[in-house]
């Protein structure tokens, strides 16, 4: 087509071919974008106390208690406390209870491991 001499009468046909080629390029671009892996959101972002409270749905006093006793991973910068979102999510994941039911033997082992002192055998 580039080497041919075009006349006014050829314009509708040429424009139609160009539209088809543009549409095929658009479809190829859409397919290429669909195949690409989505960019992961940066979760290593510091959050303020208010943001953490709204994220977890707790009050400020509960946050401060959990930060002191519960082990929320906080960072102190001067007078301000910050929590990284990815570390907070990891902390939440470690607090989950196991979903798999334990067998009687496994429960017994856990109870024995949790006791601080072994009972002395009775003398009869």
Let me know if residue 89 belongs to a domain: yes
Let me know if residue 83 belongs to a domain: yes
State how many domains the chain has. Answer: 1
List helix spans (H) across 10-124: 11-35, 49-56, 60-65, 85-94, 104-114
Instruction: For residue 98, count other CB atoms closer than 10 A to its CB.
Output: 6
Rounded (5°) CA angle 94-96-101? 125
Let me know if residue 76 belongs to a domain: yes
Let me know if residue 39 belongs to a domain: no
Let me know if residue 106 belongs to a domain: no
Largest distance between two CA atoms of the chain: 117
Which residues constitute the domain of residue 66?
46-94
Q: What is the pLDDT of residues 8-22, one digit of tens each?
A: 888 889 999 999 999
Let me know if residue 1 belongs to a domain: no
Let me know if residue 80 belongs to a domain: yes
Burial label for 63, CB within 10 Å (0-12, 13-18, 19+), is buried
Residues 6 or more apart from 44 whose CB is under 8 A from it? 84, 85, 86
Q: What is the pLDDT of residues 25-84, one digit of tens each?
A: 999 998 888 887 776 777 788 899 999 999 889 999 988 888 888 778 888 888 888 889
């Amino acid at each position: 087509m580039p080497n041919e001499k075009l006349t006014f009468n050829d314009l509708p046909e040429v424009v139609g071919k160009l539209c088809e080629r543009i549409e095929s390029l658009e479809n190829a671009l859409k397919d290429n974008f669909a195949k690409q892996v989505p960019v992961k959101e940066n979760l290593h972002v510091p959050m303020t106390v208010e943001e953490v409270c709204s994220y977890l749905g707790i009050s400020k006093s509960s946050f401060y208690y959990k930060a002191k006793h519960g082990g929320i991973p906080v960072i102190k910068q001067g007078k301000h406390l910050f929590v990284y979102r990815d570390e907070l999510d990891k902390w939440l994941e470690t607090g989950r209870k196991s979903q798999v039911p334990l067998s009687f033997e496994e429960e017994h082992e856990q109870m024995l491991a949790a006791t601080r002192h072994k009972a002395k055998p009775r003398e009869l």
